[in-house]
Chains A and B, each alone.
Chain A
């Protein structure tokens, strides 16, 4: 019971169970971050003065160490996945809000003027023109947010083994099995690369309208 994929029983999960847990803890916060970022970014586009303070706040939040978040949150949400995911969701804002703002702003002014002139109201303009054209920028932001989230989940180990694959790092120490640490690092990295590839695939499917040479990025 000391192979590469043999997970100590204190983690109460198989190898694939840990992977599933890890993905959930990494992706749900990004999804939540996206749902918050979309309206926030739209407000920033609509009211230009709002963007610098919003950007400042998200940056400051990003600078708060996750441990500090845990200390505050643990009184409310306990030693749970939620306590891990809330800081991750907050961190994703620093990437997602600017990505969406830039994406929406990248819509050429003549395209917007044409949309207005054809009688598309503000809601249609946003949903049918600005958002679709911002998709490449939004997905670029999602890629960064997702990969960083996947790597950050491990820190959850500190609050009672809520770090999914990160827990293996701790177990590697207490059971003196360095291979578990290697497993943790390699699996996390592979997960990040695979999820990133999936996002690129989604981008390609959603944007058949992009010039191929630009899409190759």
Chain B
């Protein structure tokens, strides 16, 4: 009985917290979706080569990465995420009609208000980098949710590292 309960808890943990965001291109996506896109990646790569229009929706493109992640109490875009932000900057500079909302988030270690400030600093940092890369201020909006919208809600580093992030959300 005990084992069963532990088993269920483990499964829940896995489901709630997708694996390490730094290694997987789509940390936010559920596991099923990831394996599906792997199956069709060859086809979508082929179509991406022909038409650049759908580059933003191509799961194999770097633009499919819509989140950047941070260490604790840090708001500077990390080296491994810089190519992602630079790619989005390039895309935005070539698509003046595209708009993106930058949403800063934090883990729960801090007061809610401090984290609101930290999340804003994270989003503003990405915004600045996008502007340096050619995006126009009018295409960008930066907001913070602080710790109010956690992707994962356990008190663990596995969760916290997913919550310390800035999301790039394109307007539909």
Please say whether chains A and B are actual partners in one complex.
no
Which residues of A pack against B, CB within 8 Å?
none
